[in-house]
Amino acid sequence: METLIAGYRRFRTKGWPERRKLFEALAESGQRPKAMVVACIDSRVDPAMIFDAAPGELLTVRNVANLVPPCAPDGAHHGTSAALEFGVRMLEVPHLIVLGHGMCGGVRSLLEGAPDRAGDFVANWMSIAEPARLRAVRCAPNEDRQEYCEHEVIKVSLANLMTYPWIAERVAAGKLELHGAWFAIHSGVLMMLLPNGSFVAADGSD
Ligand SMILES: [Zn+2]
- Which pLDDT tens digit goes with each residue over 72-84? 999 999 999 999 9
Give me ligand 1 centre to Cα 129, in Å. 13
Integer Cα distance of 171 and 166 in angstroms: 9
Identity of the residue numbered 89: R
- Chain segment 92-140, per-residue pLDDT in tens: 999 999 999 999 999 999 999 888 888 889 999 999 999 999 999 999 8
> How much of the chain is helix, strand and coil, in % rounded to 5?
50, 15, 35
Tell me how far the alpha carbon of residue 29 lies from the centroid of ligand 1, in angstroms. 34
Note the pLDDT of residue 205.
81
How much is the pTM? 0.95
Region class of 113: left (phi > 0), else alpha (psi between -120 and 50), else beta: left
How far is C-alpha 197 from the geometric centre of its chain's CA atoms? 18
Between the CA of 125 and the centroid of ligand 1 the distance, in Å, is 13
> How far is the centre of ligand 1, averaged over its atoms, from the C-alpha of 40 (Å)?
5
- Ligand 1 centroid – CA 4 distance (Å): 23
CB half-sphere exposure, 125, CA atoms < 13 A: 20
**pLDDT at position 206 over 70:** no
Task: Check whether 202 has a pLDDT greater than 90.
Answer: yes
Q: Answer whether residue 63 shows pLDDT above 90.
A: yes
What distance in angstroms lies between residue 44's CA and the mean position of ligand 1's atoms?
9
Geometric angle at alpha carbon 79, from 40 and 161, rounded to 5°: 70
Task: Locate all alpha helices (DSSP H) within the chain, ordered by sequence.
Answer: 2-10, 16-29, 47-50, 79-85, 105-112, 122-126, 130-139, 145-161, 165-172
Mean pLDDT, range 46-53, rounded to an integer: 97
Please give the backbone phi and psi of residue 68, each rounded to the nearest 5 degrees, phi first. -110, 120
